[in-house]
Amino acid sequence: MVIVRCPSCGHAFQVDLRKGKGAHYTRGGFTPTRLHEEIMKAIRTIVSQKMEGATKKEIEAYLRSKGISISGNSLSGRLSELLGAGLVEVLYTQVRVYDEKTRQYRFRKTPVWYLSAKGVEYLRSRPA
Question: What distance in Å separates the CA atoms of residue 11 and residue 98, rounded to the nearest whole number?
Answer: 17
pTM here is 0.73
So what's the pLDDT on residue 30?
83
Instruction: Measure Cα distances from 49 to 7, 57, 124 in Å.
Output: 28, 15, 18
Give the confidence band of 46 by pLDDT, cuts at 50, 70, 90.
Answer: very high
> Residues 68, 38: contact at Cβ < 8 Å?
yes
Which residues make Cβ contacts (< 8 Å) with residue 78, sequence separation at least 6?
A: 35, 36, 39, 70
Question: What distance in Å separates the CA atoms of residue 62 and residue 39, rounded to the nearest whole number?
Answer: 9
What does R_g of the chain's alpha carbons equal in angstroms? 16
Instruction: Measure Cα distances from 119 to 11, 55, 73, 100 in Å.
Output: 31, 17, 22, 38
So what's the pLDDT on residue 9?
80
pLDDT at 6 over 80: no
Q: Which residue segments constitute the domains of the chain, with CATH numbers given?
A: 2-125 (1.10.10.10)
User: How confident is the model over 69-84, as pLDDT tens digits?
Assistant: 999 889 999 998 898 8
Question: What distance in Å separates the CA atoms of residue 24 and residue 69, rounded to the nearest whole number?
Answer: 26
